[in-house]
Amino acid sequence: MSTRPNPRQVHIETFGCQMNEYDSELVRTLLKREGYVFTEDRECADVILMNTCAIRENAHAKVYTHLSDLKALKKTRPLVVGVLGCMAQNLKEELTVKEPLVDVLAGPDAYRRLPMLIDDAIRAQEQGLGSKGLAVDLSEYETYDDVTPERTGGVNAWIAVMRGCDNFCSFCVVPYTRGRERSRDPQGILDEARRIADQGFKQITLLGQNVNSYRSGDWDFARLISAVADVPGIERVRFTSPHPKDFPRSLLEAVVSHPRICKHIHLPVQSGNDRILGMMNRTYTRAEYLALVDEIRRMDSDIVLTTDIIAGFCSESDAEFADTYRLLETVRYHSAFVFLYSERKHTIAARKFPDDVPAEVKSQRVTALVELQRRISTERNREYLGRTLPVLVEGDAKKSHLQGMGKTDGNITVIWDKSTLPSQPGQTLSLSIYDASASTLYARPV
């Protein structure tokens, strides 16, 4: 770790998925090694970095709003503004040409060059030059295997086990912004898991854009997750985000039988209609997906299944949308993230299919799915009434510090009154469920 006589203060803001949260931790480590210090206060920062997401329209819009907020700040004092992550990769032309505010752009495979880019930008500003630093090359090899991300504490630690994606779902920008799939060496991952356990974390979440396609030599994802779950001190292991095509029997058996692998599978379906699934390039049919759900539930009927859905994909008819609606009724997920289709630049769908479902129809479909899922989630959660569940304490509830908050093995939020049960993050409590809403279980001591 190098020190500087007058260290520059960096403020980083993170948008989008857990992989971006993880990457921000990597960036912290890489910049601290070069003598930068971090501040939570953007008002006193010399460098403001935005780690961005290009997957959804709203994350994209938020970044532009934050950029315009910085204009006033930048007029008052020297300030280096950097855009990192998927937007830097996907919108490099737009951001370099149209955003004079942005000094540094770095894609997800270029973070090792970030200290140099920021140094150069600071020097250029001191000399009154307006040059921009740009690093957006994609790598076939970069896994940051040797960089231990700086974790800010808590109960859960993320480990990125693979990066990139080869699936090319037609709506998705990730293969263009994060490049081809590459998996980390398993021994490096296990060393990291042991260090995480030594630091007192109780839960590890294995991360990857397509996490269950992990492969390194003769290690597949089933072997990797079982080995991580065997690390002493780790009580729970989760994983996200998987693709339904990569669930061999060995992985299902590992999830179902290993006591420390959480009984929760996120199984993004995206659509319940075969024509739309084909256009999305999801590589499974409705029947194949439902067969996988049946197989999982035959192995463990209590497992929590969740999903992602896109409503209003190109040319989706009312009847095709109804297939998705019925699929939700059939599977009865515990929860579902429903998104309105928004065209992303450079994707296959943007090039091949007109985005022709009217905005109000898309919104109606999202509303219908959200209402249906809310009803199903409430019914599902009410199945826990009267049961006693182990709950890993995460901290205080968002709405009140008088309530504790934790998660079940199936990743369902549980709230309790701390006056009846004082609790510390990292503890596992046995709690009796007495009430339930669509998103929360309410518990008391047994």
Residues found near ligand SF4 in the complex (CB under 6 A): 165, 167-169, 172, 174-175, 209-210, 243
Handedness of CA 89, 93, 98, 99 (dihedral sign): positive
CA 70 – CA 54 distance, rounded (Å): 20
Nearest approach in angstroms of CB 209 to ligand SF4 is 4
Give whichever of 28 and 266 is closer to ligand SF4, judged by the CB atom: 266
- Tokens 């569940």 locate to 389
CA 103 – CA 123 distance, rounded (Å): 11
Contacts of 48 (CB under 8 A, 6+ apart): 10, 11, 12, 13, 42, 70, 79, 80, 81, 82
Give whichever of 48 and 277 is closer to ligand SF4, judged by the CB atom: 277
Give whichever of 53 and 393 is closer to ligand SF4, judged by the CB atom: 53
Nearest approach in angstroms of CB 277 to ligand SF4 is 12
Nearest approach in angstroms of CB 398 to ligand SF4 is 28
Nearest approach in angstroms of CB 23 to ligand SF4 is 15
Give whichever of 177 and 335 is closer to ligand SF4, judged by the CB atom: 177
CA-closest candidate to residue 241, choices 278, 205, 286? 205
Give whichever of 108 and 404 is closer to ligand SF4, judged by the CB atom: 108
Nearest approach in angstroms of CB 240 to ligand SF4 is 11
Element (DSSP H or E) covering residue 346 = none
Q: At what angle do helices 114-126 and 18-33 cross, to 10 degrees?
A: 60
3-class DSSP state for residue 362? helix
CA triple 346-347-349, angle to 5 deg: 130
Give whichever of 216 and 347 is closer to ligand SF4, judged by the CB atom: 347
What does DSSP assign to residue 147? -
CA 70 – CA 63 distance, rounded (Å): 11
Give whichever of 215 and 374 is closer to ligand SF4, judged by the CB atom: 215
CA 138 – CA 81 distance, rounded (Å): 22
Nearest approach in angstroms of CB 173 to ligand SF4 is 8
Nearest approach in angstroms of CB 158 to ligand SF4 is 16
Give whichever of 231 and 311 is closer to ligand SF4, judged by the CB atom: 311
What are the structure tokens assigned to 189, written together?
A: 């991952």
Q: Judge contact between 39 and 31, C-beta under 8 A.
A: no
β-sheet bridge partners, residue 156? 203
Nearest approach in angstroms of CB 88 to ligand SF4 is 17
Nearest approach in angstroms of CB 164 to ligand SF4 is 9
CA 5 – CA 241 distance, rounded (Å): 43
Phi-psi domain of 357 (left: phi exceeds 0; alpha: psi -120 through 50; beta: other): beta
3-class DSSP state for residue 359? helix
Give whichever of 85 and 406 is closer to ligand SF4, judged by the CB atom: 85
Nearest approach in angstroms of CB 302 to ligand SF4 is 27
Give whichever of 168 and 434 is closer to ligand SF4, judged by the CB atom: 168
CA 325 – CA 334 distance, rounded (Å): 15
CA-closest candidate to residue 351, choices 176, 94, 210, 181? 176
3-class DSSP state for residue 136? coil
CA 165 – CA 347 distance, rounded (Å): 13
Give whichever of 167 and 364 is closer to ligand SF4, judged by the CB atom: 167
Nearest approach in angstroms of CB 174 to ligand SF4 is 4
